[in-house]
Amino acid sequence: MARMKFLADAERCIECNGCVTACKQEHEIPWGVNRRRVVTLNDGMPGEKSISVACMHCSDAPCMAVCPVDVFYKTSEGIVLHDKDLCIGCGYCFYACPFGAPQFPQDGAFGLRGKMDKCTFCAGGPEPDFSAAEFKKYGRNRIAEGKLPACAERCATKALLGGDGDVIADIYRRRVTTRGRGSEVWGWGTAYGKPEKQPAAPPPGGKS
Amino acid sequence: MHDNLALRWVMRLSIALVTVLLPQFALGTEDLAKQQAARQITQPLNNAPMWREVRKGENPYQTTQVRGVETNILIQTEGQIWREIRNGPVTIYGGWLLVLVVVALGIFYWWRGRIMLKQPPTGRLVQRFTPWERLVHWGTAISFVVLAITGLTTLFGKYVLLPVFGYTLFSWLATLSKTLHNFVGPLFAVCAIIMFFTFVRDNIWQRGDLQWILSAGGLFTGRHVPSWRFNIAEKFWFWLGVTFLGVAVSATGFILDFSNFGQGRLLMQLSNVVHAVGALLFIALAFGHIYLGTIGMEGAYESMRNGHVDEAWVKEHHEYWYNEVASQSRTAGGVPSTAPASAMKEGWKT
């Protein structure tokens, strides 16, 4: 089974924010919630670089480990998803996440943040595929349609790659060979450096 | 030989520290940006200085168009440390600490039993707590218990309650817990502050307190040890529990409860660890306080429930205070006990 990963090529990103727009449009995400963002390093200086970042779907996901109600689960393709019906909005996943991926729709006075929202790798949530409830809570399920994430698909310079980890690593390796230098794969050590946490067997009978 | 070994370890540690810390001091963010600019000319496509900066996350020229808390930071590594501390020692040792305290109190109860009065009650009542003091105490106490139960649900519920209740019911419980915790928390902070000013006068160090410490209050021997209005164990609970841990837990609680002020993740992680450790110690101490205030000692609960205690109880547990109260009422020309009839009726039952 393919292990789904994101890869951001800093040499190619032109900071157009097309991925951010694609994500917002694809999933009809409300104002104030940004599942993906582009960060520019050394902005306005020689050697400026940009990187698109969202949930990286980590092997040993910290959000999963700290969640007090265990809302996270992992698909057989390594995609980290969560159940919004169970989320209590405590914000612990946001404290733990290295990439700042978890988003909350409310401002957080008295701890009222609303239910957490994050990148789903365009794989929806626990609701039945293509259901209205799934779209409302998690956005479109492109993986079930046989497509890859909208952000990577629409990246104009193919700086953002999303898909089977082996395939995108090969693409990147070819680029590095052609360029001659610059082999850093941003964030992969943090996201995928740890041993893979096997997806837990679904609880008998599903939700109780 | 041992000295040699120790010395070697100290040297190894300092070398390791210097190796780790020196580059941090030597290379400021500006330097790294300049280095990257220079590297761009000499070795195009070698981005090593830039990648070092990403980890540091302090570059003022690191920007994004997305508004929000720390959105311009690419990787924050502190989250992983917070996770290891919270899911590790805080959960494991904190959980066992509470179990241990409950077991220890159980053993103490089995061995010592309920501490009873030695003299028969006189029937004369002395006012120990005014209605205001009781109001403050119970306001703090009830909010504390609500916070303790809901807080423990958040920390241990995943391991203890979730397997029993299942996902849907536990999520409902956890939502209730979180909401209660976040709204009762500020109430507790206010109550604890009022409590400090209400009781601080009688919780300062007094003559004779040392003797009480040295004999551990006669808790294990059953010997009579005189004390003032509050003995040292009560004063310890007041200063370490209500005051020190109360402030620590309230201050960090406010930081966590009001994230709308845009505080960063590092502050929240630190607050969460201090909050959890402080609260676990607070709960462990509270177990002792609640034990002695209810089943552990005859007459203790009634003193806070009704405000009045029997003269015999005061003489046995707080003799110095008894003498003080008795002499005061004698100079005022009355009998020491002036309890209302209602308190007589339900107050002291033997």
**CA-to-CA distance for B59 and A43, rounded, in angstroms?**
10
Q: A17, A20, A40, A42: best mutation site toward chain B, by most B Cβ within 10 Å?
A: A42
* Distance between CA atoms of residues B192 and B200, nearest Å: 12
- Percent of chain A past pLDDT 70, that is, above it, reads 93
Question: What average pLDDT score do residues B47-63 get?
Answer: 73
Contact at CB, A42 and B50, closer than 8 angstroms = yes
E-state strands within A43-121 = 49-53, 72-74, 80-82
pLDDT over 50 (residue B93)? yes
Cα A9 to Cα A160, A171, A185, B12, B94, distances in angstroms: 6, 11, 7, 39, 44
| Gap between the Cα atoms of B15 and B22, Å rounded | 10
B35 pLDDT above the threshold of 80: no
Measured between CB atoms, does B284 come within 8 Å of chain A? no
pLDDT for B26: 45
- CB-closest option in A10, A69, A92 to B171: A69
Region B78-346: CATH code:
1.20.950.20
Contacts for B309 with CB less than 8 Å, ≥ 6 apart: B125, B126, B128, B299, B302, B303, B348
Question: What integer best gives the mean pLDDT of chain A?
Answer: 91
Name the burial class of residue B116, with classes exposed (0-12), middle (13-18) and buried (19+) by CB atoms within 10 angstroms of its CB: exposed
What digits encode the pLDDT tens for the residues A144-167? Answer: 999 999 999 999 999 999 999 999
Q: Name the residue among A37, A46, A98 with its Cβ closest to that of B77.
A: A98
The Cα angle at residue A25 between residues A20 and A28, in degrees rounded to 5: 115
CB-based contact, B42 to chain A, within 8 Å: no
Chain B hits for A97, CB-CB cut-off 8 Å, are 79
Residue A45 confidence class, pLDDT cut points 50, 70, 90: confident
Provide CB contacts within 8 A for B179, sequence distance 6+: A111
Work out the average pLDDT over B93-121.
94
Q: Where are the domains of chain A?
A: 4-192
- What token pair was written down for B102? 């409950």
Q: Domain residues of chain B, as ranges?
A: 2-56, 78-346
Q: What is the pLDDT of residues B235-280, one digit of tens each?
A: 999 999 999 999 999 999 999 999 999 899 999 999 999 999 999 9
Within chain B, how many helices (H) and strands (E) appear? 16, 3
Q: What is the 3-state secondary structure (H, E, C) of B147-214?
A: HHHHHHHHHHHHHHCHHHHCHHHHHHHHHHHHHHHHHHHHHHHHHHHHHHHHHHHHHCCCCCHHHHHH
Q: Does B188 touch chain A (CB under 8 A)?
A: no
- Interface contact B37-A37, CB threshold 8 A: no
Residues in chain A closer than 8 A to B81 (CB atoms)? none
Complex ipTM tops 0.85: yes
Query: Is the Cβ of B35 closer than 8 Å to some Cβ of chain A?
Result: no
B263 at interface of A, judged by CB pairs closer than 8 A: no
For the residues A101-121, what does the mean pLDDT come to?
94
| Residue among B194, B103, B101, B191 at smallest CA distance from B143 | B191
- B185-205 confidence digits (pLDDT tens): 999 999 999 999 999 999 999
Nearest C-alpha neighbor of A115 from the set A128, A102, A98: A102
pLDDT band at B80 (very low <50, low <70, confident <90, very high): very high
Q: What pLDDT sits at residue B52? A: 73
Q: Which two tokens stand for residue B177?
A: 């817990």
Interface A–B counts its CB contacts (< 8 A) at: 178
Q: Which residue of B has its CA nearest to A89?
A: B175
The CATH code that applies to domain A4-192 is 3.30.70.20
Enter the tokens of residue B170: 């536990």
What pLDDT is recorded for position B277? 98
Q: What pLDDT score does A75 carry?
A: 94
Among A41, A90, A106, pick the best mutation site for testing chain B contact (most B Cβ within 10 A): A41
Max avg pLDDT among A45-59, B45-59, B177-191: B177-191
Query: Per-residue confidence at A42, pLDDT binned at 50, 70, 90?
Result: confident
A47–B61 CB contact, under 8 Å: no
Question: Does residue B291 sit in helix, strand or coil?
Answer: helix
Q: How far is B70 from chain A (nearest CA, A)?
A: 8
Instruction: Considering only residues A12 and A190, tell me which one the structure prediction assigns the higher pLDDT.
Output: A12
CB-side neighbour CA atoms (13 Å) of A14: 6
Per the CB < 8 A criterion, the answer to whether A50 and A15 are in contact is yes
- pLDDT for the residue B13: 60
- Chain B contact probe: residue of A53, A72, A95 with most B CBs at under 10 A: A95
Helix, strand, coil percentages for chain B (3-state, nearest 5):
75, 5, 25
Looking at chain B from residue 206 to 225, which residues have their Cβ under 8 Å from any Cβ of chain A?
A: none
Distance of CA B44 to the CA centre of its chain: 55
DSSP single-letter state for residue B114: S
Please state, rounded to an integer, the average pLDDT across all residues of chain B: 85
- The pLDDT, as a whole number, for residue B334 is 42
Reply yes or no on whether the pLDDT at B348 is more than 70. Answer: no
B-chain residue closest to A101, CA distance: B71
B1 — pLDDT class (breaks 50, 70, 90): very low
B284-314 pLDDT tens trace: 999 999 999 999 999 899 999 999 999 999 9
